[in-house]
Amino acid sequence: MSECLRGVGGADMGISMEFSGYRKITAGHLAVVPWKNGGGVTTEIAVGPARAGDQEWSWRISVAEVGVTGAFSVFPGIDRTIAVVHGNGMILEFEGGRMIPLELNRPVDFDGGAVVTGILRNEAIRDFNVMVDRRYYSATLSIVEGSDELSLKSSAGSVVVIHVLDGVCTAHVAAGAQETLSVQETAIYEGETDVSIAVPPGARAAVVVIEDVSIP
């Protein structure tokens, strides 16, 4: 993988496929860090390095544990996508009174700079978060459930991230290399390639496509 992408904690995660733009992250490489506002913790999966001095990263993917109703951290200039992946959902209450329900496995996009309160329904939840610096990137999040297969064609400057939520999934590139991913394992593909993801019955994966909007 090129130097423009690092794993959480800067660990040397190793390349396990014959493809220069690929890296696998195991559960042991994930780092738990506090929220920006100190209201909870999140597990960082992968981070793109900063492309401007006013932001520590250009994109970030993480999973947060939300145990109580409370305010979201505010990230000006960031586009955010969130999906509940465990629990009975949550309500996003925006400043001004707008309410958006977050249902299991259904991603919602919103402005990371907005003032938002997450209102739990009746139990703690876990949510999958994607954040991008909108000056450089756009992102799409899909929660893929078995039995399904997804094919993606990524372009120059783009990143595809596959994180297994349940079960075991397989991913492969057009060249034929294949990787088996278990729960909490992540595959990251960078650059121009064709990626296919097979999600068998009982399995579930979060698939993120990050496109570089700064490339003409």
DSSP string, 6-42: EEGGG------SS-TTEEEE-GGG-EEEE-TTSSSEE
The domains of the chain are located at 6-28+136-212, 30-133
The more confident residue out of 13 and 127 is 127
DSSP 8-state class, residue 128: E
- For the domain covering 6-28+136-212, report its CATH number: 2.60.120.10
d(CA 153, CA 193): 6
Task: Examine the pLDDT at 19 and tell me if it is beyond 50.
Answer: no
- At residue 176, the pLDDT reads 66
**What does pLDDT average to over the chain?**
87
Considering the four listed CATH numbers 1.10.287.3510, 2.60.120.10, 2.60.200.20, 2.60.40.730, the one that applies to the domain covering 30-133 is 2.60.120.10
Task: Examine the pLDDT at 22 and tell me if it is beyond 70.
Answer: yes
d(CA 46, CA 11): 11
- At residue 8, the pLDDT reads 47
- At residue 85, the pLDDT reads 97
